[in-house]
């Protein structure tokens, strides 16, 4: 049986009052100035900061316009994840709308042969293919070495990126569009994804191409068609859904069914997101984004890029089907890898007792271990790094972390001398080490993470926005919460602590494998605890429990009801 890991429940510093919505808004301290209210109540594209306020966007756009008008050969250099793929498509579709016969190509590196970002080998290949201008999307801002090589090759390098760049590590490009480069003014809102940065550059391209604010209809239509692509990139890249990101995602999801991008239409159809059904950010996160990411994880992302740049609906449908099949393989591998990791953790108590869970296995695929590391970190409430042992004598993998532990700092500070290649941020990283160094790497990283977590508590953190009584989970009160959509990082689904709840009937197991638990709360709401059959003994009719739940609206057999998804449960008090 799986170990039960005690969670830490964390609520707001100060209890709010009023309706469920009032309490959530007070806990989250939503900005309530005029712009803040508009972003919350009626997010619209007019609330976006002008594209020219993104540092470097105008300069990159002007150079691109000059290159396209001169007939120079331009290559868009993307990344192999959903953000990079959508960013590539945004710039491609905008340039093609301005000049259908533009001398334009695109390039996405191979995750396994080339790795992330701009690389010298790719630049050499592009120069040999006659490319004269390279414009990056979602990468390149810190590629100092490759940028120098581009200059040696006679390439004009333009960069659009959003990733953190260390002081003194800015690429030597002809122009860089970036919301927060060191030593340069920041954008009014800096937490944009690569697709959003590409969209702002594309908007400046359209304005520059047309010589002012009176942008041609064909370019307006192309940019409007790209807003849903920005939404997909934003959700997939897990940027905070506040300010401009909220606008992009809200508008993108609202118009996604009217998309003029055949590949996006095919993706929605394949994911069973039929017209007339409201697409939520969770649909993008769990059904659309993974299809784009899967080919980059298990093979090459070129098919995903082609899907979003093609104007052929027949080809788009075939590509969407191919991406779906790869995603199913990825899901099966993910399930298998996680089961293997869980078995190793539960077999050896020393693994879960360490400051970080670090495992290496020759059975694992390097493109999938990051997803499994996230599950392990969430389940055991510790930083987790899973490494795939490769035939070349290296171990390559990904790590995910928890609140209070900067995994990149911990790894590079304690074991940086063992790392052949690594990078990331506080909550996630990619790393490659020699296989013979794995035991020492495990020891040093575990010790460093233990020191970082000292005094901060351990175990998964369960956050809630406010306390409520189960009787408050009524249809109208829960419906009012919909104004907070779209949900995602920085604006999660509202959750509530219910104290001393007495289930009104015995719990019931349901699902094809009877893995899920349902019971009913005072007031009539149905509580659903997914995958918790092994903890059903904690629920008994009339016996008080404390719950953290996420309420949502549900229609079952034409009857309306409130369903409360159980996040966690423990004995009352």
Structure tokens given for 503 = 């289930």
Helix (H, G, I), strand (E, B) or coil at 358: strand
Q: How far apart are CA 89 and CA 537, in angstroms?
A: 51
What's the pLDDT tens digit per position in 232-249? 999 999 899 999 999 999
Q: What is the mean pLDDT of the chain?
A: 94
Write the DSSP assignment of 122-148 as a string of letters: HHHHHHHTT--EEEEES--TT-HHHHH
Q: Is residue 47 part of a domain?
A: no
Instruction: Among 453, 472, 507, give the residue marking a domain's end.
Output: 453
pLDDT above 60 (res 2): no
Instruction: Among 280, 310, 325, give the residue marking a domain's end.
Output: 325
Do 190 and 295 fall into the same domain?
A: yes
**Where does the pLDDT of residue 342 fall: very low under 50, low under 70, confident under 90, or very high at 90 and above?**
very high
Give the pLDDT score at 559: 83
3-state secondary structure labels for all residues of 164-221: CCCCCCCCCCCEEECCCCCCCCCCCCCCCCHHHHHHHHHHHHHHHHCCCCCCCHHHHH
Q: How far apart are CA 302 and CA 444, in angstroms?
A: 38
Do 135 and 65 fall into the same domain?
A: yes
CATH classification at residue 162: 3.90.1640.30
Helix (H, G, I), strand (E, B) or coil at 69: helix
Instruction: Among 400, 422, 453, give the residue marking a domain's end.
Output: 453
Give the pLDDT score at 354: 93
Do 32 and 60 fall into the same domain?
A: no
Structure tokens given for 129 = 């293919």
Q: Is residue 197 part of a domain?
A: yes
Do 442 and 562 fall into the same domain?
A: no
Do 381 and 490 fall into the same domain?
A: no
Q: Is residue 336 part of a domain?
A: no
Give the pLDDT score at 453: 83
List the alpha helices (DSSP H) in 467-557: 475-479
Q: Cβ atoms within 10 A of the Cβ of 314, count? A: 10
Q: Is residue 412 part of a domain?
A: yes
Do 108 and 150 fall into the same domain?
A: yes
Distances (CA, A) of 517 to 250, 301, 463, 526: 33, 39, 21, 10
**Where does the pLDDT of residue 530 fall: very low under 50, low under 70, confident under 90, or very high at 90 and above?**
very high
Do 198 and 56 fall into the same domain?
A: yes
**Where does the pLDDT of residue 100 fall: very low under 50, low under 70, confident under 90, or very high at 90 and above?**
very high
Give the pLDDT score at 14: 81
CATH classification at residue 387: 3.10.310.30
Q: Is residue 339 part of a domain?
A: no
Do 27 and 65 fall into the same domain?
A: no
Give the pLDDT score at 32: 85
Do 435 and 484 fall into the same domain?
A: no
**Partners of 384 in beta bridges:** 357, 400
Look at residues 459, 453, 429 and name the one whose alpha carbon lies nearest to residue 441: 429
Range of the domain at 392: 348-453
Task: Confirm if 141 and 171 have CB atoms less than 8 A apart.
Answer: yes
Characterize 241-274 residue by residue with b for buried, 16 or more Cβ atoms within 10 angstroms of its Cβ, and e for exposed.
bbbbbbbbbbbbbbbbbebebbbbbbbbebbebe
Do 298 and 207 fall into the same domain?
A: yes
Do 35 and 66 fall into the same domain?
A: no
Give the pLDDT score at 457: 55
What's the pLDDT tens digit per position in 460-478? 789 999 999 999 999 999 9
Q: What is the mean pLDDT of residues 382-386?
A: 95
Number of domains in the chain: 3
pLDDT above 60 (res 185): yes
Q: Is residue 331 part of a domain?
A: no
End-to-end CA gap in the chain: 26
Look up tokens 């009052």; give the residue: 17
What's the pLDDT tens digit per position in 346-373? 999 999 899 999 999 999 999 999 999 9
Q: Is residue 179 part of a domain?
A: yes
**Long-range contact pairs involving 217-224 (C-beta distance under 8 Å, separation at least 24):** 218/97, 218/98, 219/94, 219/97, 219/98, 221/97, 221/260, 222/93, 222/94, 222/96, 222/97, 223/94, 223/199, 224/255
Do 33 and 96 fall into the same domain?
A: no
Give the pLDDT score at 1: 41
What's the pLDDT tens digit per position in 118-136? 999 999 999 999 999 999 9
What's the pLDDT tens digit per position in 279-301? 999 999 999 999 999 999 998 99
pLDDT above 80 (res 276): no
């Amino acid at each position: 049986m799986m170990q039960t890991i005690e969670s830490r429940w964390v609520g707001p510093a100060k209890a709010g009052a009023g309706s469920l919505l009032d309490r959530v808004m007070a806990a989250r301290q939503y900005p309530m100035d005029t712009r803040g209210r508009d972003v919350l109540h009626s997010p619209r594209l007019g609330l976006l900061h002008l594209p020219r306020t993104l540092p470097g966007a105008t300069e990159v756009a002007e150079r691109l316009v000059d290159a396209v008008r001169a007939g120079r050969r331009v290559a868009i250099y993307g990344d192999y994840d959903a953000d990079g793929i959508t960013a590539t498509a945004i710039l491609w579709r905008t340039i093609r709308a301005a000049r259908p016969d533009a001398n334009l190509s695109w390039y996405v590196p191979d995750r396994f042969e080339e790795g992330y970002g701009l690389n010298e080998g790719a630049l050499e290949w592009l120069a040999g293919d006659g490319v004269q201008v390279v414009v990056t999307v979602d990468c390149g801002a810190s590629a100092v070495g490759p940028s120098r090589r581009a200059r040696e090759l006679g390439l004009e390098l333009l960069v659009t990126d959003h990733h953190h760049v260390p002081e003194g590590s800015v690429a030597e490009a002809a122009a860089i569009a970036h919301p927060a480069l060191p030593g340069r003014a920041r954008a009014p809102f800096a937490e944009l994804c690569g697709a959003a940065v590409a969209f702002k550059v594309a908007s400046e391209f359209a304005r520059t191409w047309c010589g002012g604010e009176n942008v041609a209809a064909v370019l307006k239509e192309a940019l409007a068609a790209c807003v849903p692509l920005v939404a997909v990139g934003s959700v997939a890249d897990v940027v905070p859904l506040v300010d401009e990101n909220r606008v992009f995602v809200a508008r993108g999801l609202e118009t996604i069914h009217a998309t003029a991008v055949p590949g996006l239409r095919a993706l929605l159809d394949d994911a069973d997101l039929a017209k007339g059904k409201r697409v939520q950010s969770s649909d993008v996160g769990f059904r659309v984004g993974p299809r784009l990411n899967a080919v980059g994880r298990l093979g090459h992302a070129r098919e995903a890029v082609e899907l979003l740049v093609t104007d052929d609906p027949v080809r788009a449908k075939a590509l969407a089907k191919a991406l779906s099949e790869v995603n199913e393989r990825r899901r099966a591998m993910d399930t298998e890898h996680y089961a293997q990791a869980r078995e190793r953790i539960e077999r050896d108590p020393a693994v879960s007792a360490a400051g970080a869970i670090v495992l290496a296995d020759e059975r694992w695929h390097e493109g999938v271990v990051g997803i499994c590391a996230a599950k392990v970190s969430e389940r055991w409430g510790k930083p987790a790094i899973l490494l795939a042992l490769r035939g070349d004598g290296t171990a390559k993998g990904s790590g995910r972390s928890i609140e209070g532990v900067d995994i990149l700092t911990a790894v590079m500070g304690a074991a940086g001398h063992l790392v052949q290649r690594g990078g990331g941020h506080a909550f996630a990283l990619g790393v490659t080490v020699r296989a013979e160094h794995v035991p020492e790497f495990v020891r040093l990283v575990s010790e460093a993470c233990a020191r970082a977590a000292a005094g901060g508590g351990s175990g998964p953190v369960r956050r809630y926005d406010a306390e409520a009584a189960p009787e408050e989970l009524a249809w109208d009160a829960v419906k009012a919460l919909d104004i907070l959509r779209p949900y995602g990082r920085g604006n999660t689904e509202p959750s509530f602590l219910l104290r001393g709840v007495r289930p009104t009937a015995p719990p019931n197991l349901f699902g094809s494998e009877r893995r899920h638990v349902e019971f009913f709360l005072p007031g009539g709401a149905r509580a659903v605890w997914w995958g918790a059959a092994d903890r059903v003994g904690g629920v008994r009719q009339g016996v008080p429990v404390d719950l953290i739940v996420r309420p949502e609206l549900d229609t079952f057999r034409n009857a309306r009801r409130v369903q409360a998804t159980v996040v966690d449960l423990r004995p009352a008090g």
